[in-house]
Structure 1
Amino acid sequence: MSPEAPLPPLATRAPTAATANDRRAGQPVAVSITGLHKAFGDKIVLDGVDLEIRRGEFVVLLGPSGTGKTTLLRLLTGLEKPDSGQVLVPSRRTTVYQEPRLIPSKRVLGNVTVGQPRTTETRDRATRALAEVNLDGKTRQWPATLSGGEAQRVALARALVREPELLLLDEPFAALDALTRLQMQDLVGDLVARHRPAVLLVTHDVDEAVRLADRVLILNEGRFAVDTDIDLARPRDRTDPESLRYRAAFLAELGVGRTTASTTT
């Protein structure tokens, strides 16, 4: 495909050979949603949604505010119940939110192990998880002494120590400065490649979606307007013509002009 060629329509774009479909081939299904309906009063939020996510697949969910992204995430966590349809998720699942939600009265290691059995094995797993997020020297620190990026890395370690089959990420980088956000994106990408959970990341940041996703969904008016694979090698260069075409196509689908300078919707 030449750099000047436009993307085919996103909703029907087929993955190229030996990329996204091959990464999913043979992997067990971690999330299976069929015929999902959810309404709040007269407002229909999700209207017959079907979705399948396999282990090791990094899926990013985009969409305008108020289109049901958070509701879908809450349905996957079990905090909401569907009005109809079926939602099947693994029992080992965990969520990282925009705020790290650390307990101020517990040190870093205690925050990572919160809710886990008080065993040597748990402590060892937590220590390894902190090392994976480059916080192996911070186990005794209090949350108040951490930077925003460090606190979010503690939240990631807390998720890892539970060895999830499904990792749900609810705009986990939105409150970070631009440089820290890029560093955290790289870290999450590396951790997911190493541990291979199924991942659903909810974000408003189109650049983040193109940088991280195996597959991008765009939710609008209760349905997926786009479900397309990102067939780009890693690590990804945001200035690469292929990345820029994906970005432009997603922004257009979200109603943002090609000349818009902002990277978020």
Structure 2
Amino acid sequence: MSPSAEAVVDIRGVRRVFGDRAVLNGVDLRLHQGDVVALLGPSGTGKTTLLRILAGLDAADDGRVLVPKARSVVFQEPRLVPARRVWRNVVLGSRHVRRDRSRAVRALTEVGLASHQNAWPVTLSGGEAQRVALARALATEPGLLLLDEPFAALDALTRIRMHDLVAELIGRHNPAVLLVTHDVDEAILLADRILILDGGTIGVDVTVDIEKPRQRTDGRFAELRALLLGRLGVGQATAAAP
């Protein structure tokens, strides 16, 4: 992306204070269309707080926040409405039934769940429910897609499949993406840039210069993994674990 291209997200000097603690203390971040940025950091360092500010679910105490009007969030939990069929969950809140059903079916087709459009959420597996949440997020064609540890509750095999699906859908829809995660491997697999948030600011900003699709067996993958784990304060023994 050209440095001169207009940013989709532009935040400058963002602060968020809880009591006497500045969880965010002067955060600067720019994202362009098509950027996929992963945000790492120890628990309690403000990752989700930053995501909530970008989503409009929280407000900064200071600083400038410019984000696109069309933005969507996928949380760790699918947050489906049990009393609404799957397709209605995809277009939740809209009243244009005929038009919206068509839009919902298109979105569900993209995530491989068109055959589940009339199902109730309680009948879905965890991976299926999260795919519905992803379809809902992308159905509005957001300029900014926010992912708050969306795979954390899934089993290992389902998580791998979701990584592949998300990478495909991001490539197709081309939003700016911010992925909050604790999983270093996940960050390397999906992101173009990886940031580490600590002490209220972004202390690490690394470009992932590895061709996609990425493989954990790639030596560059292992080198970057070790670097990031080191910056996160993880010991060598843990960093060497598969």
How far is 1:25 from its partner? Answer: 6.0
How far is 1:26 from its partner? Answer: 6.9
1:168 aligns with 2:146: yes
Contact 2:225 2:239 in 1 (8 A): no
- CA distance in 2: counterparts of 1:61 and 1:184, whole angstroms: 18
TM-score (norm 1): 0.88
Contact 1:94 1:166 in 2 (8 A): yes
Q: How many residue pairs were aligned?
A: 242
- CA distance in 1: counterparts of 2:226 and 2:19, whole angstroms: 35
- CA distance in 1: counterparts of 2:5 and 2:162, whole angstroms: 26
Partner of 1:114: 92
Secondary structure, counterpart of 1:127 in structure 2: helix
- CA distance in 2: counterparts of 1:28 and 1:110, whole angstroms: 35
- CA distance in 1: counterparts of 2:212 and 2:2, whole angstroms: 16
How far is 1:136 from its partner? Answer: 1.1
Q: 1:24 to 1:258 in 2, by over 3 A?
A: farther
Secondary structure, counterpart of 2:178 in structure 1: strand
Amino acid in structure 2 at the alignment position of 1:239: T
1:235 aligns with 2:213: yes
Q: Could you give the per-residue CA deviations for residues 112-151 of structure 1, whole angstroms, max 9, x where no partner exists?
A: 1111241433222211110000001111111111000000
More displaced 10-residue stretch of structure 1: 188-197 or 108-117: 108-117
- Correspondence for 1:155 among 107, 110, 133: 133
Name structure 1 gaps, 5 residues minimum. 1-22
Secondary structure, counterpart of 1:158 in structure 2: helix
- Correspondence for 1:226 among 189, 198, 204: 204
Secondary structure, counterpart of 1:260 in structure 2: helix
Name structure 2 gaps, 5 residues minimum. none
Equivalent residue runs for 1:105-144 within 5 Å: 105-144=83-122
Partner of 1:196: 174
Contact 1:27 1:55 in 2 (8 A): no
Contact 1:36 1:47 in 2 (8 A): yes
Equivalent residue runs for 1:1-80 within 5 Å: 23=1, 28-80=6-58
Secondary structure, counterpart of 2:89 in structure 1: helix
Partner of 1:208: 186
1:103 aligns with 2:87: no
How far is 1:258 from its partner? Answer: 2.7
- Correspondence for 2:231 among 253, 258, 262: 253
More displaced 10-residue stretch of structure 1: 252-261 or 159-168: 252-261
Q: Percentage identity across aligned positions?
A: 58
Contact 1:24 1:57 in 2 (8 A): no
Q: 1:31 to 1:139 in 2, by over 3 A?
A: same
How far is 1:74 from its partner? Answer: 1.0
Amino acid in structure 2 at the alignment position of 1:167: L
- Correspondence for 2:61 among 67, 83, 86: 83
- CA distance in 2: counterparts of 1:143 and 1:190, whole angstroms: 24
Contact 1:60 1:216 in 2 (8 A): yes
Q: 1:134 to 1:263 in 2, by over 3 A?
A: farther
Amino acid in structure 1 at the alignment position of 2:69: S
Amino acid in structure 2 at the alignment position of 1:146: L
How far is 1:217 from its partner? Answer: 0.4
